[in-house]
Amino acid sequence: MKLIVILLKEFLSSNIKKTRTVFDVCRLSIFLVVIVFGCEEKKSVFYPELTESSIPQEGILPYFKGEVMDPYWVENQKYPIDLRRFPNITLESHLKEEVKEGKLLGKYKLITFFYAKCNGICPMITRNMINFLPRIENQSDLEIYSITINPEVDSVEVLQNFREQYKIKQTNWTFLTGSKKDIYEMARKQFSADVKVIKGADNLNDFVHTENIYLLDKQNYLRGIYRAKGTGDLERLLVELKTLREEGK
């Protein structure tokens, strides 16, 4: 910077300054400005989620980590605190039973988000799940949870009517309602299930839920994400559920 100032002073005080045109002065000024801004030290951007890395492991499904849901493979049983998982909250099932985080332990889980009066992707997800579930041969270690994002309206009775409407008979498919604050925080922070996040807002109109199905392991960690639209991704779910079972996690 000091060198640039010196050059400018010398230019203006040179013996031939009288012959300098206004155009020359402007051109030099622009050149110096470009140098000044071009030489400014750029501040480095710090991404906390990139402070830990992992190496993909064959035959092992990744976990999901940080704000951007990076795939992450755990080594030496060291689990970072920002791995995505089902949180410690209490919900209520369509059978009027409490469902806590601890109750989900020990089985594989498929999680979806919906609401009973949804006329968009909810019917599609529900029908696809109805057609897909019979293809999973062994369901003794699998639970399916559909969580309403409109709990203020979707009472236990509404959830029961929803099951009757779609003729859902599976005993391992549970519909859940509960605290709106807890559900929204879980859906957004753990599953990124809101595809139109408006920070500070928490009403239904601000929550555009995803069509995704989420696969959780026996320790309630998120291990797979699949689109319910169409059948292609559900084929991948079949394969990766088998992989997770072989992994034993």
Same domain, yes or no, for 92 and 192? Answer: yes
Q: Is residue 69 in some structural domain?
A: no
Same domain, yes or no, for 161 and 88? Answer: yes
Q: Are 73 and 221 in contact (CB under 8 A)?
A: no
Q: Is residue 97 in some structural domain?
A: yes
Q: pTM to 2 decimals?
A: 0.77
Best CA proximity match to 82, nearest among 95, 91, 69: 69
Q: Is residue 111 in some structural domain?
A: yes
Same domain, yes or no, for 146 and 211? Answer: yes
Same domain, yes or no, for 33 and 91? Answer: no
Q: Are 41 and 59 in contact (CB under 8 A)?
A: no
Question: Can you tell me which residue has the tokens 């750029």?
Answer: 42
Q: Is residue 57 in some structural domain?
A: no
Q: Is residue 73 in some structural domain?
A: no
pLDDT on residue 25: 47
CATH number at 242 reads: 3.40.30.10
Q: Is residue 149 in some structural domain?
A: yes
Per DSSP, the three-state class of 182 is: helix
Q: Is residue 26 in some structural domain?
A: yes
Same domain, yes or no, for 18 and 122? Answer: no
DSSP 223-238: EEEEE-SSSHHHHHHH
CA of residue 91 relative to chain centroid, distance? 21
Domain with 19, as residue range(s), is: 2-38
Same domain, yes or no, for 100 and 34? Answer: no
Would you write out the chain's pLDDT as a tens digit for each of its 249 residues? Answer: 554 445 445 545 554 444 445 445 455 455 544 454 555 555 555 455 555 667 899 999 999 999 889 999 998 888 999 999 999 999 999 999 999 999 999 999 999 999 999 888 899 899 999 999 999 988 999 999 999 999 999 999 999 999 999 999 999 999 999 999 999 999 999 999 886 655 555 555 556 678 999 999 999 999 999 998 877 899 999 999 999 999 988
DSSP 40-96: SPPPPP--GGGSS-----TT---EEETTTTEEE---TT---TTB-B--S-EEEETTS
- Whole-number Cα distances in Å, 89 to 32, 94, 144, 181: 60, 17, 17, 11
pLDDT on residue 205: 54
